[in-house]
Amino acid sequence: MDYRREDLTEAKRQIESTLHKLRETVKTLEAKEKPDRYKSQITLAKRRIAAFEIAIYLIEKELEGSVQRS
């Protein structure tokens, strides 16, 4: 699929913002007095972080490719 460069750049920006919030959430939950109570939430957040990191990587690859195609 072809996406406009601006759309990819905005998507990357939004994902990076969400990633920042997720990382802060993990820090907060892990710092709680009994982090084991939040184990499933921490696991879910970490899995989402990994997924968003992959998405950013793929967006960056697409952006690099669009520069080469131009």
Each residue of 1-38: pLDDT tens digit? 689 999 999 999 999 999 999 999 999 999 999 999 99
What is the residue extent of each domain of the chain?
A: 1-7+36-70
**Is-contact 34 11, C-beta < 8 A?**
no
Residues 40-45, mean pLDDT to the nearest whole number? 98
Residues 37-49, mean pLDDT to the nearest whole number? 98
Secondary structure of residue 4 in the 3-state scheme:
coil
In the predicted model, is pLDDT for residue 68 greater than 70?
Answer: no
